[in-house]
Amino acid sequence: MVTVPRRFTVRAVVAATSGASIGRAVAMSTPMRLVVTAPRVPAAPVPVVGRRALSVAQTLSKIKEQGKTAFIPYITAGDPDLETTAEALMLLDACGADVIELGVPFSDPYADGPIIQASAARALAGGTTIDAVLSMLKEVTPELSCPVVLLSYLGPIVRRGAANFTAAVKEAGAKGLIVPDLPYAETCEFRNEAIRNGLELVLHTTPTTPAERTKEIAEASQGFVYLVSVNGVTGPRATVDPRVKDRLREIKQVTDKAVAVGFGISTPEHVRQVADWGADAVIIGSAMVKQLGGAASPREGLKRLEEYAKSLKDTLP
């Protein structure tokens, strides 16, 4: 087992991260058509310390050039506690994660299935707050060789304000953002705030997103294009929707950005199949969260997480 020092004692302020559900029009499904005009972005700085200095897009581009498929695990911050989350981040990095997606627990994670919903509820019950998550992340990111993408629902962002939120995420060391319930009509404005703080805003598309909308999303998305493999919430499935194969080909016809497939990916067979179909990266969420959440103790959870992560990483080309 990879040895990770228990250096990060993070004291969470006991406060609820709850609030009214905001904006259920998701970028992947909102019927309103909006052409997103990409603002001029300054050239990315030349990396100075290897992988640690690379953006998400640069990281995935390098892996793509090598003919490999990137491994992107997801975990929920604060489940079972933030100290274990810090250890899990370093463990996943040591196991070969190319990018790590870290979820901020929210009281109404309606895009998520039962496993991640229960994980978020445990984290909130334990007192995890966005401030505590960012404080922990600021300590851990200097130790990581791979970039972290923070996933947050819109509620915490609205309460803090987009400018303040993105500035705090940058200070914490994250490289990218995913906001699953960001209304499509607000994508351009929020994307500009992210760019001002050097963050990559990742957008979703699905097997049933219209072709023109998919093209717009591919143009606006940064870091990578997130292809949701199902029409529904997160959670393991028995098989991968065969429409994903055609969808991957269609997206790659309109962008040279990396395309990552997530939702429902849980077994080595799923990972191998999606990679064979041409995915540039695979995202494993619920099944990864289950390794920590279903364990009798944090130490057992970390051991299970390591074994599971290695089994998936070893499957990828």
Q: Is residue 3 part of a domain?
A: no
d(CA 111, CA 26): 9
Structure tokens at 294: 């279903």
Confidence band of 264 (pLDDT split at 50, 70, 90):
confident
The predicted structure's pLDDT at residue 230: 67
The predicted structure's pLDDT at residue 1: 54
Q: Determine the angle formed by the axes of helices 82-94 and 130-140, rounding to 10 degrees.
A: 40
Structure tokens at 88: 């899990």
pTM higher than the cut 0.85: no
Helix ranges (DSSP H) in the chain:
56-65, 82-94, 114-125, 130-140, 154-160, 162-172, 187-196, 211-220, 243-252, 268-276, 286-293, 298-313
Contact call for residues 292 and 301 (beta carbons, < 8 A):
yes
Q: Is residue 194 part of a domain?
A: yes
The predicted structure's pLDDT at residue 109: 73
Q: Is residue 181 part of a domain?
A: yes
* Token pair 């960012």: residue: 134
Structure tokens at 9: 């004692």
Residue that wins the pLDDT comparison between 10 and 212: 212
The predicted structure's pLDDT at residue 128: 97
Confidence band of 206 (pLDDT split at 50, 70, 90):
confident
Q: What are the catalytic residues?
A: 101, 112
d(CA 131, CA 49): 28
Q: Is residue 25 part of a domain?
A: no
Q: What is the mean pLDDT of residues 259-266?
A: 90
The predicted structure's pLDDT at residue 19: 35
d(CA 227, CA 247): 8
Q: What CATH number has the domain bearing residue 84? A: 3.20.20.70
Q: Is residue 26 part of a domain?
A: no
Which of 44-53, 64-73, 241-250 shows the highest mean pLDDT? 64-73
pLDDT 10s digits, 272-296: 999 999 999 999 999 999 999 889 9
Q: Three-class SS of residue 41? A: coil
pLDDT 10s digits, 111-145: 677 898 999 999 999 999 999 999 999 999 999 99
d(CA 108, CA 136): 23
Give the number of other Cβ atoms within 10 Å of residue 131's Cβ. 15
Whether pLDDT at 110 is above 80: no
Q: What is the mean pLDDT of residues 64-76?
A: 97
Q: Determine the angle formed by the axes of helices 162-172 and 187-196, rounding to 10 degrees.
A: 40
d(CA 13, CA 271): 38
Confidence band of 107 (pLDDT split at 50, 70, 90):
confident
User: Can you give the residue range of the structural domain that contains 154?
Assistant: 50-313
Q: Is 2 exposed, middle or buried (0-12, 13-18, 19+ CB in 10 A)?
A: middle
Q: What is the mean pLDDT of residues 10-15?
A: 34
Q: What is the mean pLDDT of residues 51-63?
A: 89
The pLDDT > 90 percentage for the chain reads 68
Domain count, the chain: 1
> Which residues have CB under 8 Å from 262's CB, separation 6+?
72, 74, 226, 227, 228, 229, 234, 282, 283, 284, 285
d(CA 240, CA 190): 32
